[in-house]
Amino acid sequence: MKKLVYIFVIAFVSNLTFSCADLAENPVGLLSPEGFYKSKKDVESAIFGAYGSIASEPLFGRQFLSALMLRSDMVDIGNRGTSAERIQVNDFTMDASNGMVARFWPIWFQVISAANSAEAGAKSLGLSENEINPLIGEAKFIRAFSYFHLVRCFGALPYLDSFVSDPESVKTVGKTSEEEIYKKLITDLEFAKQWLPDKQVGDVRSRPSKGAAAAYLASIYMTLGNYQKAYAEAKYVIDNKDKFGYRLEADYQDLFVATKADVIKETIFAVDFLGNINSGSFNDDLMGPMVGNRLPEVGGFGVLVPSLKVYSTWDSRDYRKKVSFQDTLVLPTKVVPYTGFPDPRPHIDKWRRFPGNAGAGARYSDFNYNDMRYAEVLLIAAEAIGELSGPNEEAYGYLNQIRSRARNAAGKLRTFPENVPTNLNKADFINLVLEERRLELAFEFKRWYDIKRRKLGDVVFKGPNSLEPRSAFDASRDYLMPIPSTEIAINPNLGPQNPGY
């Protein structure tokens, strides 16, 4: 069920939440939780406002997701005439004044501020635990979701888990270590796992459930290299998949059909855009134009375009390749192969082919962008088992579930990809899992995080089999992004800057 209320609470969010810079410079209109929250509905309004900020142009609508994609070895710049800030992110040549980073950094803190306000407001109502803790758990989930993205991108950064009632205090906020941030994320998600429902009302997947909290705990533990706990959380989700309503969808293509988004059972948590509705930067989904072909009949920007090698090295027998790419464009008067595209490479089609009720160039789409789906939980479990004991029947089974689905091409069974060989050693199995993640989750904003957590930068950007060679990649610098220089100028306590910037 689409949440039109997301749009209507934006005015509330605009008054309630600010970036660290805004709080220091312009606190006018700041609302205290005690003054606003009178009921559970008011708490929900703040929570919906946080979701509205996530579903905005600076975050999941363009800037943040584009940065993640460009940082990977799966997405390149197609049109080199695009803005310099995008090219710098892609080429590992950006500095602390990069405009993309400067735009998405403060919006993440708006989301966090809304979550903190919602939590404080919920506690102020004086209701019983059973009545209010599910909403507090949702606020904690949003905060953990936000910081999990931020800490992987920036490392140590300001950690705020309470409502800021004194704007002057923000001027003295310093960094919290990565280790401490991860501890706090785990605490928040454990609370959420305890108190969130098995399913949200209407089985809405753009609000979290117990299964979502556990899935993110599994991902966090995997990121930290705690494979035992990563496996335990993933196994909890797998064992309770029927209770939570999770399954692999029969047809991989259905995951990327906007009109089917609200009935997809593979979704664990998604960011929900509302088709053809816009309120400033809120609900402004530009992913379609960003990946779209620059032919005049299409109206795309041609910015996020994989290198040809990403396409050519992907086995053509894999149905997921057909779903992921546009390699031929059928127009009313002609058929154009990718060699005739302005950027002569196959383009990403996951976020273009079926955008639902959308504007020109697939802008303002109706997509629900999956940040976590059941297939990834299976991959986490398989990888964790591989690290703990080497591959076994259970781990092979999880990968084979994903490969079996990949063989179902619109109801027509294929023979590729075959089941995983059962004679792999530990290292080969781990490499196979990472490769399966690269293909299964292609262009879904995950690859950079895999490169970072596995420290694969020198291999994927400078190795002989690099899909997108990047000579400027520097492992001592580029696993983190720079903290925006404007933020450090306002609050020197955010220094020192990340190494190399």
| Interval 435-461: pLDDT, tens | 999 999 999 999 999 999 999 999 999
CA distance 387 to 430: 7
CA distance 381 to 389: 12
Whether 25 has a pLDDT exceeding 50, the answer reads no
Which CATH number does the domain housing residue 26 bear? Answer: 1.25.40.390
CA distance 223 to 144: 14
What is the pLDDT, as a whole number, of residue 221? 99
CB 143 within 8 A of CB 112: yes
Residue 342 in any domain: the answer is: no
What is the pLDDT, as a whole number, of residue 23? 37
Residue 169 in any domain: the answer is: yes
Which domain, by its residues, includes 98?
5-196+480-494
Mean pLDDT value of segment 41-61: 97
Residue 286 in any domain: the answer is: no
What is the pLDDT, as a whole number, of residue 11? 40
Whether 22 has a pLDDT exceeding 60, the answer reads no
CA distance 220 to 149: 10
Tell me which residue of 402, 366, 364, 357 sits closest to 256, measured CA to CA.
366
Residue 414 phi/psi, 5° resolution?
A: -110, 175
Residue 467 in any domain: the answer is: no
Mean pLDDT value of segment 243-252: 98
The first and second tokens of residue 26, run together, are 């312009």
**Percent residues over pLDDT 90 in the chain:** 89
How high is the mean pLDDT of the chain? 93
pLDDT band at residue 76, thresholds of 50, 70 and 90? very high
Say how many domains are in the chain: 1
Residue 220 in any domain: the answer is: no
| Interval 278-330: pLDDT, tens | 878 999 999 999 999 999 999 999 999 999 999 999 999 999 999 999 999 99
The first and second tokens of residue 294, run together, are 């620059």
Whether the ω angle into residue 355 lies within 30 degrees of 0, i.e. cis, is no
Q: Based on the number of CB atoms within 10 Å of its own CB, is 373 exposed (0-12), middle (13-18) or buried (19 or more)?
A: buried
What is the pLDDT, as a whole number, of residue 31? 52
The rounded Cα 254 to chain-centroid distance in angstroms is 19
Residue 344 in any domain: the answer is: no
Whether 167 has a pLDDT exceeding 80, the answer reads no
Residue 45 in any domain: the answer is: yes
| Interval 316-333: pLDDT, tens | 999 999 999 999 999 999
pLDDT band at residue 166, thresholds of 50, 70 and 90? confident
What is the pLDDT, as a whole number, of residue 27? 32
| Consecutive H or E run containing 184 | helix 178-195
What is the pLDDT, as a whole number, of residue 169? 73
* Other residues' Cβ atoms within 10 Å of the Cβ of residue 11: 11
Mean pLDDT value of segment 216-235: 98
pLDDT band at residue 216, thresholds of 50, 70 and 90? very high
The pTM of the full predicted model, rounded to 2 decimals, is: 0.94
Tell me which residue of 174, 27, 235 sits closest to 113, measured CA to CA.
27
Residue 157 phi/psi, 5° resolution?
A: -160, 170
Q: Based on the number of CB atoms within 10 Å of its own CB, is 421 exposed (0-12), middle (13-18) or buried (19 or more)?
A: exposed
Residue 484 in any domain: the answer is: yes
